Structure 1
Amino acid sequence: MKVLKSFNLRGWLLVGTAACGVVLAGAIATLGSPASAGASLEERKLPMKFGWVACEPNCRGWVSAVGIITADTPKDFDDFARGRQLGGATVVLDSSGGSVNDAITLGRRFRNLGLLTTVGITQQNGGGKGARPRIASEAYCESMCVFLLLAGKKRYVPDAAHVRVHQIWMGDRADDAKAASYSAQDLMIVERDIGRLAKYTFDMGGAGDLLSLALNVPPWEDLHELDASELKLTNLVTTDLVSDVLPHVDVAAPAMADLAPKTQARFGEEPEPAKSTKTAEALVPTGGVATPAAAPQK
């Protein structure tokens, strides 16, 4: 069972993050170099950005969604979607997770538009006549990214992708969760957000097994990577055919096994602080003692 220790976010966080990439027409292909892999990892540390990847006349194109889900992400998506015909498009998520409530809000936007979801990293081919964008299939979708994946009307996960889950926790105490103290207010917030996440999961057609698997992994343990049978058990995967979400695409498995490190370096803070939201958010346990981030003002 593969596992990953990931990032450290500021504020109230649900223990667990994800790297989700949405992929569409164009080939799921190899990364060109280790430098490219590093660049992708850096992008996953930033607030989520959306981009339209055009590949006409061979395919319709797709939405690239890369980074951490913050309080600004739903509005940023609304701004991106304005004036675009996104109905039924595919989203390629590459994300380490983020805010629970904001991920739920964004996921409902995805479902309302009938979007399809998958995991991957978009590569823009530079130069060359007729060069087309490609998709690297070995990518990461962790924590709340997993629930964005669930929002797709159809959902496909490549064999090389890593989908990882873990438990809700306060992110400012995830580094040394056993030694931290908690108030009744803290417990209320976590319990409330578990309820919201459960309702969302069932609304999206997910199974209770997804919540069970995630909530069994405490912040002092490595994230749990879902295997092929668990992806089906949780109903995260609705199709084994890439053509159901990436029509008219030649799919190639990545040649590089080290697209992203199995253990990723921690980072102390978000480059750009997210707005405070009265919620637990998604954060990957770091498994060590670090300087705790200040809790947001309520």
Structure 2
Amino acid sequence: MKLVRLRFRGCAVLIVAALCLAVPGAFAMLGGLAHAGGTLEERKLPMQFSWVACQPHCGGWISAVGIVTAESPKDFDDFAQGRDLRGATIVLDSSGGSVNDSITLGRRFRNLGLLTTVGTSIRSRTAQGDRVAIDPEAYCESMCVFLLLSGKSRYVPDAAHVRVHQIWMGDRADDARAATYSAEDLMIVERDIGRLAKYTFDMGGGGDLLALSLNVPPWEELHELSREELRLTNLATTDAVAEVLPSSIGGSALQGVAMAAKPLQDRFTSSAVTDAATPATKSTRTAEVLAPAKSVAAAPAQ
């Protein structure tokens, strides 16, 4: 059997400018962005997980940057080995990726009781020493939105961009209208929509999130969720940053760090699904375009 996979693209990332200083609870404007130049390229690569230590009086967080691939669940398991991540916060900066692998990864996050937010982890050098922060001017697109949904508590900063799109056959998303499709292809898409729907409800999301996503075909612009839609879909469960970030960060007024808007990434075709809940088969993803579209929640199904 030919192995292809459905993929979602178009999730907006939230970034919280949370500064960890040598003095507990203190905050200041960053003097520079140590990782600003590399962030765009990192988002084009397979998802990488890292622990961002926040010294000396806060616990830190997990940084997850890049595209979800067939290897991402195992990469996360390797990262988690030997670490007690229960109840930790994961900061997402992703353009999406494989539908089934994102579902698998999201269930890993929920099993650990992770908290989720969107952002870019940055580090700067100051006279007081190194400082780490989370910049809220970031993107969480497509299947990243469903990773965001996996958090037991979910915070989306005002500066973040959360964007949704349809799933599609991974090998035909680049020119979806010109491609041909078989009855088997239709079966695969409908099956993976069913899997995504079950996951959405298991995570505490609602049908409005599926409606907003599945009404945007790959030849249209990604739809950016408004603050009202973030609440309607239950993607944002709190307006208090202190509920998802280390207490010495979240308890203080946060400072925003301006960054240039990040362009959308190239599309990727995923490989076979290996998780027991999502057996190997063809797969789906989404395509993306250059700018967010107007709300399509009320549009008829395509």
TM over 0.5: yes
Q: Is the 8 A contact 1:99 1:279 kept in 2?
A: no
- The number of residue pairs the alignment matches comes to 270
Alignment-mate amino acid for residue 87 of structure 1: R
Q: Is the 8 A contact 2:14 2:161 kept in 1?
A: no
- Distance in 2 of aligned mates of 1:275 and 1:78: 19
Does 1:98 pair with 2:94?
no
Residue in 1 aligned with 2:166? 167
Q: Is the 8 A contact 2:36 2:122 kept in 1?
A: no
Residue 181 of structure 1, CA deviation: 0.7
Q: Is the 8 A contact 2:116 2:151 kept in 1?
A: yes
- Distance in 2 of aligned mates of 1:174 and 1:40: 25
Does 1:283 pair with 2:286?
yes
| Per-residue Cα deviation, 1:116-157 (whole angstroms, up to 9, x for no partner) | 000000012247553221111110000000000000000000
- Distance in 2 of aligned mates of 1:274 and 1:166: 17
Alignment-mate amino acid for residue 168 of structure 2: W
- Distance in 2 of aligned mates of 1:30 and 1:184: 55
Alignment-mate amino acid for residue 286 of structure 2: L
- Distance in 1 of aligned mates of 2:11 and 2:230: 15
Residue in 1 aligned with 2:7? 14
Residue in 2 aligned with 1:295? none
Q: More strand per residue: 1 or 2?
A: 2
Extract unaligned runs of 5+ from structure 2.
Answer: 21-26, 274-280, 291-302
Alignment-mate amino acid for residue 76 of structure 1: D
| Per-residue Cα deviation, 1:71-92 (whole angstroms, up to 9, x for no partner) | 1111111111111011100000
TM-score relative to the length of structure 1: 0.82
Calculate percent identity across the aligned residue pairs.
64
Extract unaligned runs of 5+ from structure 1.
Answer: 1-9, 288-298
Q: Is the 8 A contact 1:21 1:140 kept in 2?
A: yes
- Distance in 2 of aligned mates of 1:18 and 1:162: 7
Residue in 1 aligned with 2:277? none
Q: Is the 8 A contact 1:149 1:236 kept in 2?
A: yes
Residue in 2 aligned with 1:134? 133
Alignment-mate amino acid for residue 152 of structure 2: K
- Distance in 2 of aligned mates of 1:219 and 1:126: 42
- Distance in 1 of aligned mates of 2:30 and 2:235: 24
With over 3 angstroms needed to count, the CA separation of the structure-2 counterparts of 1:185 and 1:22, relative to structure 1, is farther
With over 3 angstroms needed to count, the CA separation of the structure-2 counterparts of 1:141 and 1:31, relative to structure 1, is farther
Residue in 1 aligned with 2:24? none
- Distance in 1 of aligned mates of 2:132 and 2:175: 42
Residue in 2 aligned with 1:196? 195
Alignment-mate amino acid for residue 13 of structure 1: L
Of 149-158 and 10-19, more deviation after overlay is shown by 10-19
Q: Is the 8 A contact 1:24 1:90 kept in 2?
A: no
- Distance in 1 of aligned mates of 2:162 and 2:213: 11
TM-score relative to the length of structure 2: 0.81
With over 3 angstroms needed to count, the CA separation of the structure-2 counterparts of 1:184 and 1:200, relative to structure 1, is same
Residue 31 of structure 1, CA deviation: 9.2
